[in-house]
Amino acid sequence: MTEQLSLFKEQIFNLEDIATKTKWQSFRYIDLFAGIGGIRLPFQRLGGTCVFSSEIDKFAIETYKANYNETPHGDITQIREDEIPNFDILLAGFPCQAFSIAGKRKGFEDTRGTLFFDVARILKYHKPRVFLLENVKGLLNHNKGETFKVMIDILENQLNYKIFYKVLNAKDYGVPQNRERVIIVGFLDHSINFKFPEPFENKVIVGDILDKEIPEKYTISDKIWASHQRRKEEHKKKGNGFGYSLFNDKSPYTSTISARYYKDGSEILIEQKNKNPRRLTPREACRLQGFPESFKIVVSDNQAYKQFGNSVPTKMIGAVADEILKALRSKYEE
């Protein structure tokens, strides 16, 4: 392990030190659409106790159980609100779906049949002090912005939360990945002052997450490499920038890793001297999302790529979590 990589791991993955910054540690939270616990992890390290989790993907459940010693409940649409224990904070990286009649301002009726409705009904029943929602940047413009307007209207005017939202980029928060996500934070107490975290001063680069010794199986074949180059040239002739993306250890950051990375690795290929480029290893993908070295990868490479591609940059979520706890501490521990 290089000294550079060792330093990266020490600085990026040691979130326990954040917990010492706040005394508000006795909170309970729930983890909806849990995936592999990317949103859960920072709140756990801040001293919180997860009292309920929900996930439907059997392979994600396998990884979740291995890392948190907990088997998530199944389909949240089939779980009643009163079956969920009381909690202080709701966490959800929910999938974005079209609202069937979004824009007609019928509130909850606009969102029935979507997973946001399940978030809203749980908030309505339990009235937790705070929630954190995460989604793709495109949510802001989904259905010409009507989807987001309906969501915010429900959260603010029907559920009475004070809402803060902002698009954050993972590359500003300790991982070398250009990944923009909208973060929505809501407080039941409207007098609480909250601000989103400032970008980190210390930057990392792609080389900080790369291993030196790489198994040959991660080098792409001549056939796939030729296919990547051909498609990129075809797109170039059409005037667009689609195709593979190539990075090296000096690159400031990669493009966004996606759930389809397992197919051909085209969005993030790593240069190699005198040979074809390679894909990231699952462990490097793990680091690219800010998970600790201790995080157990217990599934196949393909499933691991899907899981990390679907997850969140944990260091970015950790920075937001830190600000949430600071705001709560300032209000309730004055």
Which residues partner with 133 through β-bridges? 92, 184
What's the alpha-carbon Rg for the chain, to the nearest Å?
21
Q: How far apart are CA 190 and CA 241, in angstroms?
A: 45
Point out the catalytic residue in the list 12, 36, 76, 96: 96
- Catalytic residue at 96? yes
Q: How far apart are CA 102 and CA 145, in angstroms?
A: 10
Q: Report CA 132 to chain centroid distance, whole Å.
A: 11
Cβ atoms of residues 88 and 329 within 8 Å: no
Give the Cβ contact number of residue 114 at 10 Å.
Answer: 22
Task: Kindly provide the b/e burial profile for residues 215-242, where b requires at least 16 CB atoms within 10 angstroms of the residue's own CB.
Answer: eeebbbeeebbeebeeebeeeeeeeeee
Q: How far apart are CA 226 and CA 134, in angstroms?
A: 37
**Which residue type, as a one-letter code, is found at position 56?**
I
Please calculate the CA angle 306-98-82 and round it to the nearest 5 degrees: 80
Could you report how far apart the first and last alpha carbons of the chain are, in Å? Answer: 45
Return the H-helix or E-strand segment holding 120. Answer: helix 115-126
* Greatest C-alpha distance within the chain: 64
Render 79-116 in DSSP notation, one character per residue: S-GGGSPP-SEEEE-PPP---TTTTS--THHHHTTSHH
Backbone angles phi, psi at 124, to 5 degrees: -60, -40
Which amino acids are annotated catalytic?
Answer: 96
